[in-house]
Amino acid sequence: MHLLQVLWVFCWFAPLRGFGHEFRFASYYGDHMVLQRAPERAVLWGYGTDAAKVTITVLGNQQNTSHTVTVEEQIWRVTLDPVQPGGPYVVSAVQQSAEGVQVHNLTDVLFGDVWLCGGQSNMQMGLSQVINASEELAMALKFPNVRVFTAADEHSREELTDLMKIELPWSVPSAGVLDGGNFSHFSAVCWLFGRYLYESQKHPVGLVESCWGGTPVEAWSSERALQKCGLAKPKHSFQNAGASWDNTVLWNAMIHPLLNMTIKGAIWYQGEQNTEYHQDLYNCTFPAMIDDWRMAFHQGSGGQTSPVFPFGFVQLSTYKKTSLSDAFPNLRWHQTADYGFAPNPRMKNTFMAVSLDLGDEASPWGSIHPRYKQDVAHRLTLGARAVAYGEKGVSFQGPFPQAIRLQGKYINITYSEEVSVTKSNTTFEVCCSSSQRDPCNASSAWDPAPIVETSSNVVVLSTDGCSDEVAALRYAWRDWPCGFKACPVYSADHVLPAAPFIVKRAP
Cis peptide before 85 (omega within 30 of 0): no
Pick from 231-240, 274-283, 487-496: least confident = 231-240
Q: pTM of the entire structure?
A: 0.93
**Residue 438 scores a pLDDT above 70:** no
Q: In the structure, what pLDDT confidence band is assigned to residue 380 with cuts at 50, 70 and 90?
A: very high
Model confidence pLDDT, tens digit, residues 318-338: 999 999 999 999 999 999 999
Model confidence pLDDT, tens digit, residues 242-266: 667 889 999 999 999 999 999 999 9
Pair 406, 506: CB distance under 8 Å: no
pLDDT at 244: 72
Q: Which of 18-27, 378-387, 402-411 has the highest mean pLDDT?
A: 378-387
Q: In the structure, what pLDDT confidence band is assigned to residue 477 with cuts at 50, 70 and 90?
A: very high
How many angstroms from the chain centroid is the CA of residue 355? 14
Angle between helices 373-383 and 188-201 (to 10 degrees): 50
Helix locations, 77-208, DSSP H: 121-124, 133-138, 175-178, 188-201
Pair 200, 385: CB distance under 8 Å: yes
Query: Which SS3 state, helix, strand or coil, does residue 325 take?
Result: coil
**Residue 7 scores a pLDDT above 50:** no
Residues in the chain: 507
Q: How far is CA 275 from CA 219, 306, 331, 332, in A?
A: 15, 31, 6, 9
- C-alpha dihedral sign at 187, 188, 190, 191: positive
CA 198/CA 376 separation, integer angstroms: 16
Angle between helices 327-335 and 282-300 (to 10 degrees): 40
Apex CA 318: angle with CA 313 and CA 324, to 5°?
A: 130
Pair 171, 146: CB distance under 8 Å: no
CA 220/CA 350 separation, integer angstroms: 18
Average pLDDT over residues 298-326: 97
pLDDT at 237: 67
Q: Which residues pair with 179 in a beta bridge?
A: 185
**Residue 270 scores a pLDDT above 80:** yes
Say which DSSP state 355 is in: -
Q: Are strands 350-353 and 311-314 parallel, antiparallel or unpaired?
A: parallel
**Residue 58 scores a pLDDT above 60:** yes
Average pLDDT over residues 155-180: 95
**Residue 374 scores a pLDDT above 50:** yes
Question: Which backbone phi and psi does 132 adopt, to 5 degrees?
Answer: 55, 40
Residue from 368, 479, 480 nearest 122 by CA? 368
pLDDT at 90: 97
